[in-house]
Amino acid sequence: MARISAEKREEAARLLAEGRSADWIASRLTISSATVRRWRRTDPAFQALEQQYRNALYGRGLLAVAERRLRPPARLRIKPDASPLDVVRDAMTEVGRKEARRGR
């Protein structure tokens, strides 16, 4: 069994927090979906990382959008054909840019 990099684990946790399926993540990261499900079920470090990303979305008011329970706010719906997850990703990128400008 090959070791999977920490970057892939972190990316998988972020994508799960955004509401992506294990199958979708597995195809994007070239790992098996069973591996993603096993991490989510049994790995406390992975669960903590996923929860950290989920809390970040919640803190920005975007968790309900990521879970598809709420439409994105009008100020975030820049692209008319963007999915809710694309809007969340764009908003998180913008927050990162603002923090980088502030030197955080």
Q: Where are the domains of the chain?
A: 1-59, 62-104
pLDDT at 98: 74
**Nearest CA among 82, 76, 95, 31 for reference residue 13:** 31
pTM of the entire structure?
Answer: 0.58
Q: CATH: 3.40.50, 1.10.3470, 3.40.33, 1.10.10. Which one for 1-59?
A: 1.10.10
Mean pLDDT of the region 82-89: 73
Token pair for residue 11? 């990316």
- Residues with Cβ < 8 Å from 70, sequence gap 6 or more? 64
pLDDT digits (tens, 9 = 90+) for 29-83: 889 999 999 998 999 998 998 888 888 777 776 666 666 665 666 666 666 666 7
Three-class DSSP category at 71 = coil
pLDDT at 95: 73
